[in-house]
């Protein structure tokens, strides 16, 4: 496990290449599973997202002999579909279980596995940005896992959610995979992939850090009106029409 975590952060392209060598086209099923679990299951927000897409883009660049480790026309649609299906599943899970969990009425194992802190952060993010949070949250680690769940718990209009879902997933895949395709095979990037991954993570979490600081040190107006994390209200009339 320690070696696997080391490879994820320091040599993700090498890890994927070794998987291709061992399992061939099965790597596409692995990619789908990772992205689906990260976006569709609120208990797995720790899985790689942006760095995985960057690595996939780098492995789609043809070698000198024209060969490719991954095919861009196969990998990109699979990642796109996985993100959409994962977000949609998360939305319906939130619709079914979210209200009771937010009100603290559920004592199930699923409810105990959820991070109240992460749910509260995602709820505040969703309240601030409305439906656009589905797009913006796609680029924020951890937040992207919880925003679809919060949208479902808040009974956001489903067709409206799907519009934002498709737009967000398309931008996420195209930007991150495209960056890997354009820059992933630059010698310095290949030799310092660990630093690149840390840079991607750092840039991605800056908005989260800002939100945490604002939460811990709120303005007077926010301090007077913000609900405590233990009792987050779900206002269906507001969130259902947010845009």
pLDDT, one tens digit per residue, over 65-82 is 888 899 999 999 999 999
Instruction: Give the residue ranges of DSSP H helices in the chain.
Output: 2-10, 12-23, 26-40, 50-59, 72-102, 109-113, 116-129, 133-136, 143-153, 158-183, 187-191, 193-216, 220-225, 236-239
What span, in angstroms and rounded, lies between the C-alpha atoms of 92 and 65?
A: 46
Structure tokens at 128: 């601030």
pTM of the predicted model, to two decimals? Answer: 0.74
Residue 231: burial class (beta carbons within 10 Å; 0-12, 13-18, 19+): exposed
pLDDT at 166: 95
Gyration radius of the chain over CA positions: 19
Domain spans in the chain, listed from the N-terminal domain onward: 2-239
Task: Compute the distance between CA of residue 136 and CA of residue 159 in angstroms, rounded to an integer.
Answer: 18
Residue 234, helix vs strand vs coil: coil
- Which of 84, 66, 90, 77 shows the shortest CA–CA distance to 28? 77
**Positions in the chain short of pLDDT 70:** 1-11, 99, 101-123, 201, 204-205, 207-209, 211-212, 214-216, 218-243
């Amino acid at each position: 496990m320690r070696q696997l975590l080391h490879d994820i952060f320091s040599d993700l392209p090498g890890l994927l290449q070794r998987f291709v060598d061992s399992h061939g086209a099965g790597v596409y099923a692995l990619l789908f599973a990772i992205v689906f679990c990260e976006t569709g299951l609120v208990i797995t927000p720790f899985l790689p997202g942006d760095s995985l897409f960057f690595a996939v883009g780098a492995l789609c660049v043809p070698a000198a002999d024209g060969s490719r480790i991954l095919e861009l026309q196969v990998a990109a649609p699979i990642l796109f579909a996985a993100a959409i299906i994962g977000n949609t599943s998360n939305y319906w899970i939130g619709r079914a279980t979210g209200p009771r969990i937010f009100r603290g009425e559920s004592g199930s194992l699923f409810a105990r596995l959820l991070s109240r802190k992460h749910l509260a952060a995602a709820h505040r993010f969703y309240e601030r940005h409305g439906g656009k949070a589905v797009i913006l949250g796609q680029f924020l680690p951890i937040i992207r896992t919880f925003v679809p769940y919060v949208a479902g718990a808040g009974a956001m209009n489903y067709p409206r959610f799907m519009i934002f879902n498709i737009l967000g997933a398309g931008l996420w895949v195209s930007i991150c995979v495209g960056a890997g395709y354009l820059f992933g095979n630059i010698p310095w990037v290949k030799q310092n992939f660990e630093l690149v991954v840390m840079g991607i993570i750092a840039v991605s979490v800056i908005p989260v850090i800002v939100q945490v600081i604002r939460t811990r040190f709120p303005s007077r107006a926010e301090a007077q009106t913000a609900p405590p994390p233990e009792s987050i209200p779900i206002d269906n009339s507001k969130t259902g029409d947010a845009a």
